[in-house]
Structure 1
Amino acid sequence: MKGAVLAPDAALPDDGVPPPWPARRVTIDGAMLHVRDTPATGPDAEPAVYVHGLGGSSQNFTDVAGLLSGHLAGQAVDLPGFGYSDPSRRYSLPAFADRLIGYLEYAGRGPVHLVGNSLGGAISVVVAALRPDLIRTLTLISPAMPFLDPRRTAQGPVLPLLALPRAERLFAWGMARMTVDEMAEQVLAACFGDTTRVSPQRRAEAIEEIRLRYTVAHYPKAYLGALRGLVSSFVRAYLPGDNSLWRLAARIAAPTLVIGGLDDRLVDPRVPAQVARMIPDGRLLMLPGVGHVAQMEVPRLVARGIVGMLADTRLPVG
């Protein structure tokens, strides 16, 4: 493991608050996947794909994708069951990874720079390990990799639901008892180290995203199914077998940047360093005062870290 290299701030365009990037729908194996495209602004931009976390959407990468558009031609996907994508029969990590691999093959852009946050980070670990031919570099932002006591996170109160029959009905009932604004404040408090960093526009967009959840019947099942899949992967990680996320991480050949926030309330802040140590060509960037979604909270720092990795991996050897 080595420390991350931050590109000069001048390597990025001036800050702005762009609206969500244009969206389109693609159909893979009979299911619709919702994708947002960030057009490249540089002649040498290379293909990138962004993968959001549990309960998130492709809009979680609006800012960082714009900042990176001179270097990367971005596509951000809504995972099955989230955002505007169709639901899925299964919400396990292997099922998500299969769908992402299917999308990368469908897009046909060759190997991509893959960026995943939280659940999207765990999915990206699986894809990078199983299909190295599809990956140029890997960036993991607060990846939801296994740690021993997930009850100590902001997800703790939800975990008992996983053992109950008809858990999605109870979850939907709990959602209905909160207003959209209350839910938005709860989500922002759990995900950000400092909620004052959320601009008025991004706060309004977060509220609209949460309002969408209240209108989508499959959302409670998708959320709990994905959380159940994550917890299951945590248990399997400490058992024998090739499907352990830690063993998969050790197989990753791509240059990898791992970013963590020291004020992360959803993933143990010690996890990013463990991940960076496990991946053979791992780099670590830890951010004081930052929470679970660094790409939203401090997008400029995240973008500088990614551009720094790109420059580092292109240096001639010897």
Structure 2
Amino acid sequence: MTDEFAAHRHQVGGISYVDVGEGPVTLFVHGVFTNGRLWRNVVQRLRGHRRCIVVDLPGHGCTPPLGEASLWGLADAVGTVLTELDLWDVHLVGNDTGGGVCQIVMARHESRFASWVLTNCDTEGNTPPRAFAPVVWASRLGLFRVTGPVVRWPALAKQILRVGYRRPAELPDDVVVDYLAPRSSAAVTRCGSWSGC
């Protein structure tokens, strides 16, 4: 795996995160079947005038599965980063399920935020979105436990990502493999019932 920001990777409370740049703090939260690398291009553009903190949610990227496998459990992880790093006046950005996580984090830590942006994200009553139903079905059947080695083939992995991506063929192969590595699948497998996830 190529990690563009490996030199800036840290850990707090078991949660892996990247901390790069200087200036006002912007905290980025990804959704399922991705990791913090989702934000790599945005961080490259912002790092010259913002302190970018990019979280790998539990069971994704460099963070092992831990805590409760639900939106609230994932929000606990983001809250850990927020409080342990003593972050204030934060600009919060969330995408996909990460946006649903951000909504909980905002409610729990409202005074810590200067602004927030939610892009194409889950909401209460729309988690998971209807288009994600095949993934829920596959998870309930335990299919993610047996597909780990298969998704290491970028061409096949890009086909799997067609569920949620407009142009998955344009993703770099190493990013696709990184998104769907077994650690990432573990979060969705643990969340097979999708109760609150």
TM-score bracket for this pair, using the shorter chain length: 0.7 to 0.9
Q: Secondary structure at the match of 2:42?
A: helix
* Structure-to-structure mapping, 1:63-82, within 5 angstroms: 63-82=41-60
Bigger Rg, structure 1 or 2: 1
Number of the residue aligned with 1:172: 145
Q: How does 1:27-38 map to 2 (within 5 A)?
A: 27-28=12-13, 32-38=14-20
Three-state SS of the structure 1 residue aligned to 2:47 is coil
- The equivalent residue for 2:173 is 204
TM-score by length of 1: 0.54
| 8 Å Cα contact 1:51/1:76 also seen in 2 | yes
Given the alignment of the two structures, is residue 108 of structure 1 paired with residue 86 of structure 2, yes or no?
yes
Alignment of 1:119-130 (within 5 A): 119-130=97-108
- Can you give the 5+ residue segments of structure 2 that lack an aligned partner in the other structure? none
In 2, Cα distance between the equivalents of 1:151 and 1:48?
A: 26
1:54–1:227 Cα contact (<8 Å) kept: no
- Judging changes above 3 Å, is the alpha-carbon distance between structure 1 residues 148 and 90 closer, same or farther for their aligned structure 2 residues? closer
Does 1:222 find its partner at 2:196? Answer: no
- In the TM superposition, 1:132-281 aligns within 5 A as 132-146=110-124, 152-153=130-131, 155-164=132-141, 167=142, 170-177=143-150, 180-195=153-168, 198=170, 202-210=171-179, 213-214=181-182, 216=183, 219-226=184-191, 228-229=193-194, 232-233=195-196
- Per the alignment, do residues 97 and 177 of structure 1 end up closer, same or farther by CA in structure 2, a change over 3 Å counting? closer
- What is the match of residue 20 of structure 1? 4
Corresponding residue number in structure 1 for 2:30: 52
Instruction: Specify every segment of 5 or more residues in structure 1 that has no aligned partner in the other structure, as ranges.
Output: 1-18, 235-318
CA deviation after TM superposition for structure 1 residue 144, in Å: 1.2
Instruction: Report the 3-state secondary structure (helix = DSSP H, G, I; strand = E; otherwise coil) of the residue aligned with 2:137.
Output: helix
Q: What per-residue deviation string (whole Å, max 9, x for no partner) do you get for residues 209-257 of structure 1?
A: 157x14x4xx43312334644xx348xxxxxxxxxxxxxxxxxxxxxxx
Summarize the Cα distance change of 1:67–1:194 in structure 2 as closer, same or farther, 3 Å threshold: same
TM-score (norm 2): 0.82
Root mean square deviation, CA, Å: 2.7
Instruction: Evaluate the alpha carbon distance shift between residue 151 and residue 100 of structure 1 in structure 2; reply closer, same or farther with a 3 A threshold.
Output: closer
Distance 1:207 1:92, change over 3 A: closer
Report the secondary structure of 2:93's partner residue. strand
The percent identity for this pair of structures is 23
Aligned pairs, how many?
A: 194
Structure 2 vs 1, CA of residues 65 and 83 (structure 1 numbering), >3 Å: closer, same or farther?
Answer: same
Quick one: distance in 2 between partners of 1:99 and 1:172? 24
